[in-house]
Amino acid sequence: MRKPILIILCILCLGAQGCATYMYHGSIDAMDSAGKERHFILYWSKTDGLLWPAKAGPASLLTECGNPVIFVERPEGIVFRGTPGQDAPVGTPATMTQPEIPCGSFIGETKFVAFDEGPVMLRISCEPVTDEFAVQPRRYLQARPEPYRFDIISTKEWSLFGKDPVAPDPPPCRQP
C-alpha cells in the first residue's frame, strides 16, 4: 500500500523540477565602435517551471571580434550598466569618476519574462575604453542616437530536471 504512494510522491517531486526552457535570440550586421561592419548577436534565456514562476535574463550582446555586453533587469528597465575605465558616454572623458554609467537600454521593455518573439529596440550611448589590461581593443555596437532593431525569435525545450541554456556561439571574427 505504501509503495504506490511513495512512487507517486517521487513522480510529483520529479515533476516539480520540470520546466520549459526558452532561448531568445536575434542578430544584425552593423558598425562596431571602431567603425567596422560586424555581426552582432543578442540572446537571453527564460525558464518556466511547473511549480515556480518564470525567471529570465540577463541578455548578452555578442560582438564579432569584440566584447560581450550584458543587459540586466533593473527597476528603471533593461539596461547596460557601464564600468568606469571601460565604458564612457560618447563625448566624455574616459576616466569617469562615478561607478554607475548608463550605457544602453532596451526601449519599451522592462521585464524579460514578459517578452515574447518580435522586435527589440536597443540603444547604445557609450563607447568602449581600452586600458593596458585589455588583451585586444575593446569593441561593441557603435553608439548612436537611433536605436538598433533586433528581430527576436525563440526556441523551446522541455526538460524534467531543468536544462542549462544553450546559447548561440560568439560570432567568428572574419577580419580582426
Partner 1 sequence: MPVDPLKEREILVVHGVQTSSDAQLNQDQLIKTLIENRIGSIPLRFATRLYRYENINDDALRKYKLLLNLLAINPVGKVVADNVLEMAGDVVIALRNSSTAAKIRAGLKAAILDIFQREAPCYIVAHSLGSIYTFDVLNRLMRDDQYFDRASRRSWPVQGLITIGSPIGLDMFRVRGRKSVASLGEGHKWFRWHNYYDLTDPVVSGKIFGQQLQGYIIAETYLKQSLKQGWVIRDRQVDTGKGWLMAHVAYWENPIVGDGLVDMITN
Q: How many residues does the chain have?
A: 176
Nearest to partner 1 of 19, 152 (CB atom): 19
Nearest to partner 1 of 84, 89 (CB atom): 84
**132 forms part of the interface with partner 1 (CB under 8 A):** yes
Q: Locate 36 and state its grid cell.
A: 567596422
* E strands in 32-168: 37-49, 55-56, 59-63, 69-74, 77-82, 87-89, 101-106, 118-124, 126-128, 148-159
Alpha helices in the chain (DSSP H): 2-17
C-alpha–C-alpha distance, residues 137 and 149, integer Å: 25
Instruction: Write phi, then psi, for 157 (nearest 5 degrees).
Output: -135, 140
**104 forms part of the interface with partner 1 (CB under 8 A):** no
Q: Please state the closest distance from residue 147 (CB atom) to partner 1, in A.
A: 22
Nearest to partner 1 of 8, 173 (CB atom): 173
Nearest to partner 1 of 42, 146 (CB atom): 42
> What single DSSP character describes residue 168?
P
Q: Which listed residue (14, 51, 114, 160) binds partner 1 by CB under 8 A?
A: 51
Nearest to partner 1 of 145, 175 (CB atom): 175
- CB under 8 A: which stretch of 32-40, 102-110, 114-122, 155-163 binds partner 1? 155-163
C-alpha–C-alpha distance, residues 32 and 63, integer Å: 8
**129 Cα distance to chain centroid:** 21
Q: Which residues bind partner 1 (CB under 8 A)?
A: 17, 19, 21, 44-47, 49, 51-53, 55-58, 60, 62, 65, 67-70, 72-75, 81, 83-86, 95, 97-99, 131-136, 138, 159, 161-167, 169-173, 176
